[in-house]
Amino acid sequence: MIGKIIGGRYHIIYFLGGGGFGRAYLAKDNNFADDYWCVVKHLQPLLSPLSTMTWETAKRLFESEARVLRTLGEYDTIPKLIDYFEENQELYLVEEFIDGYELTEELENIFFDELQIYELLISILETLHFIQKNNVIHRDITPDNLIRRRKDNKLVLIDFGAVKQILIDNEGLPRRSHTIAIGKENYMPDEQANGRPGFYSDVYAVGVIVIQACIGAIPLKDDNGEFIWRNQADISPALANILDKMTSCYFKNRYQSALEVLNDINNFPNYLQAKSTNRKVKIFKFNYADIWYKRANELRNRKHHEAALLLYKIVIDIQEKHYKAWFNMGVTLSYLHLYNDAIQSYNQALKLKSKSSEAWFHKGILLYKLSSYEEALIAFNQAIQFHLHHATAWLYRGYILNLLGSEEEAIESFRAAIKLRPSYAAIFDNI
């Protein structure tokens, strides 16, 4: 799929991941002059002989996601629906790309104080309340479906592939109905596993995530199915009571909606007191450039050079002094035979790391290909100065000296190369 254009405008750049319903790709919308990034979801259910999932069920869930996103996507912390279409008898959904990192990163790397626990809880519940006002159950609220958005640090709820819309009866009350079991085990209550989810099921998932933030792990359960965690958490008993009520194993003992939890918290003296305290909290800093750099390297290693180039540019936009991004951009441009652009990229890398033997060497190779022999000789001399045992730099230095008529120096350079790498003797014999 990488490199293809879907729907006449969505240029597929990078594979983001996949599951039981399909595969998701990072794409560039060619209808915009600037780089406009989006997510293209391709319906491609993994149907095995043992699976209870049918194509019709997968298609229905996919179409449900499109309908829900069309309704909910105007909310700030839910991705916007951009497009939904069929092409070559296959279904595609296009939505806003949320540039950020998964909440999992924070849960694994920082300690949350009590106010941070409140802030985490409220930020998820406010989005969940909006969803529930529209009679929707998400059914897959997990840390990897909550993205901390780079531009404003807000938590965005993604992946509505498992959503279920609640039917309302004549009295305006939600009608319980049986459905297939969808969700991740650690965050899925019993009634959801049994195919009868409700608003309280998503409340449960949020509670588990927040307890995980309190203790640094998924809590264990006792023989009655209730979580054991309070002795591991440094929070007030009142807040712990709220979390216990959110995650009760029996849904009737739980908060029935996000709004019920929010009402309790907003009238909660402990929350108001925590907001007023002066505190020194270690802020989690995520290396956004690093995740884009890894994506670019994956594409380059798979020889998707045009796509890799786009992502290296994002890395540099985020962190201009990223030596490795400049260097690997040069390598990528070289594969595309854009030698002059590649040399400029190596020059930027050398501004950041002037003693980089690898950057001098790669620059020298391109100057050699462009027949700029004197400049290439300078580059190979620099590569050797900073890495005396660089056999290939010695070899190319010999080539250039030979071309420039300095035969004795060329022979010395070839001998140095052969000493470091005896297999080069055959090349020297041919010359």
Q: DSSP labels for 81-144? A: EEEEEEETTEEEEEEE---EEETHHHHHH----HHHHHHHHHHHHHHHHHHHHTTEE-S---GG
DSSP string spanning 245-293? HHT-SSGGGS-SSHHHHHHHHHT-HHHHHHHHS----------HHHHHH
Dihedral of CA atoms 247, 65, 1, 28 in degrees, nearest 10, equals: -100
The confidence score (pLDDT) of residue 60 equals: 76
The confidence score (pLDDT) of residue 345 equals: 98
From residue 4, how far is each of 67, 82, 135, 190, 426 by CA, in Å?
Answer: 26, 18, 37, 42, 44
Q: pLDDT at residue 285 above 60?
A: yes
Please, which residues have CB within 8 angstroms of residue 330's CB and are 6 or more apart in sequence?
342, 343, 345, 346, 349, 359, 362, 363
From residue 331, how far is each of 196, 210, 357 by CA, in Å?
Answer: 54, 44, 14
On whether the pTM is more than 0.75, the answer is yes
The confidence score (pLDDT) of residue 271 equals: 64
Examine the residue annotation and report whether 202 is marked as an active-site residue of this protein. Answer: no
Q: Which CATH number fits domain 5-96: 3.30.2270.10, 2.160.10.10, 3.30.450.30, 3.30.200.20?
A: 3.30.200.20
Of 35, 76, 113, 140, the catalytic one is 140
Q: Which CATH number fits domain 100-276: 1.10.1740.10, 3.40.50.300, 1.10.510.10, 3.40.50.2300?
A: 1.10.510.10
Domain regions of the chain by residue span: 5-96, 100-276, 288-430
Identify each DSSP E strand in 335-431 by its residue range: none
> What is the CATH superfamily name and number for domain 288-430?
Tetratricopeptide repeat domain (1.25.40.10)
The confidence score (pLDDT) of residue 32 equals: 85
pLDDT tens column, 3-14: 999 999 999 999
Averaged confidence pLDDT in the chain: 88
**Same topology between domain 5-96 and domain 100-276:** no
Using a pLDDT cut of 90, give the percent of the chain over it. 67
What is the enclosing helix (H) or strand (E) of 308?
helix 305-318
Higher confidence at residue 177 or residue 241?
241
Q: pLDDT at residue 259 above 90?
A: yes
